[in-house]
Structure formats: C-alpha cells, structure tokens
Amino acid sequence: MQIKHYSHQNRMLVAIDCIIFGFDGLHLRLLLIKRGFEPEKGRWSLMGGFVHADESFDNAAARILKQLTSLDNVYLEQLYAFGNPHRDPVERTASITYFSLIDINQYEKQISHEYHAEWFHLKKIPSLIFDHKEMIKMAKGKLRYKAAFHPVLFELLPNKFTLPQMQNLYEDVYESVIDKRNFSRKILSTGLLIKQNHKDRESSKKGAYYYKLDKRKYMRNFNAFLNFIPNHKI
C-alpha cells in the first residue's frame, strides 16, 4: 500500500532567505528589499521566498537570487536553518538561509526595481522584519571565518582591482585596520594575483597598479590557508 502522507504530523512551510553581500570599491554592503506583502508589508527585508514542492533548497535559493539580480552561477552558500516556532506570526515557517557574494559594479544595473532593492552600508542597516537581523549577524561571522581560510572575498571584487581596494574590503569585513605593507606582502605571496601594466589614476596622483585574479590558481588553491587575519578577528 502506498502511503501518501505521514499520519498525525503537523505541516510547516519552508522559506529561503538570501543574505546578499556586495562591494563598491570602498565598503562592503548588503542588498535589502521592501517587503511586498503582509505581514510587515513595506518594511525592509532580505530577499526571500517559499520553497516549491518540486525543488531542492539550493535550487530554490538560486531561483530567488535570480529573480532579484538576474544572475546565474554566483557564489551562493547555505548558512543555517532558522526554526523558531514563532518567527513568522502568520504560519509555522522554517527559513533556510543562504549568503551570496556579488560584484556591485558589474551587476548593479541588473538588480530588479520591482522589489525596491537598495544597497546598505553594514553599519547603517535599517530595522528589519522577523529574525533577519540575526541572520545577517550570523552571515557576517561566517564570512569572516571563510575569508580567513579561503580567498572567497575575490568573489566580491571586479575583474581588475587595486590592492588598496582589496584592503578596504578586508578591513570592512573584519571591522579592523590592517597594516598596509603586511597586507600587501601576504596577499601577493598567495600567487593568486596577476599584476597589470596600468594604474588607477582616479584615487590618487601616484596611482595604484591594477591586478587580476588568476582564476585557474584560484580554483586549484581555494582551500589554501591565507593566514593573514588575526585569530581574534575570526
């Protein structure tokens, strides 16, 4: 006999919430939207939606991210499952959270205006619905941990970038001032960067050389330990 449902079990909804980080060359930012339905309609929220019956969590997260950014194949990683029984006032809803890393300058024009999306500095995040503030706090901690052991922050950088831009990114992620010479030495020692022949003349008269990521080395050495972030900052 085929069993269609488990008996005497409560049902619940499963949602996906995406914590989308971007970098504008100076600061790490977070993408938020205006919630389009009740409850809490009109308040700031993470980009989210419900999991369809025929899709996996990963596929649902990719679909929801594409709805907002029109992007495929961007960095997307499952973070945590939030399951407080009272987190959603309407119905019992568990949320599977993902964090994503994208280059703002490359993809900003593709962000959908349907959701009133806006980039926020991490120190100026507005009041959010439900437990989204807690989700962001956890994502920031995970990003710090990942960046200390893997070159994952390259996902946030444009095709060509300067070492000062890269240092700005690391300092924002770790909310800490990093010694310039020590940072440059350790970044260059990874062998992941290809120096370009031209400089960024807009930031200063002297200018800083542009670099590109050696993507083949990046994929081969993704699990290489970078070891230039103080342990107490992870």
CATH ID of 13-149, from 1.10.620.20, 3.10.20.90, 3.40.1010.10, 3.90.79.10: 3.90.79.10
Q: Where are the domains positioned within the chain?
A: 13-149, 152-233
Tell me, what's the pLDDT at 200? 86
**129 pLDDT band (50/70/90 cuts)?**
very high
CATH topology of domain 152-233: Arc Repressor Mutant, subunit A (1.10.10)
Distance CA 7, CA 140 (A): 40
How buried is 108 (Cβ within 10 angstroms: 0-12 exposed, 13-18 middle, 19+ buried)? middle
Q: At what angle do helices 180-189 and 163-174 cross, to 10 degrees?
A: 110
Nearest to 172 by CA among 150, 156, 184, 189: 156
Whether the Cβ atoms of residue 182 and residue 133 lie closer than 8 Å to each other? no
| SS3 state at 40 | coil
Stretch 211-218: mean pLDDT = 86
Query: Which amino acid, residue 10?
Result: N
Residue 54 scores a pLDDT above 80: yes
Give me the pLDDT at residue 231, please.
55
pLDDT at 89: 94
**Distance separating alpha carbons of residues 153 and 157, to the nearest angstrom:** 7
Question: From the CB of residue 21, how many other CB atoms can be counted at a distance below 10 Å?
Answer: 24
H or E stretch covering 196: strand 193-200
Greatest distance between any 2 Cα atoms in the chain: 78
For the segment 135-158, the average pLDDT, to the nearest whole number, is: 91
Is a pLDDT exceeding 50 seen at residue 162?
yes
Q: Which of 20-34, 126-140, 178-192 has the highest mean pLDDT?
A: 126-140
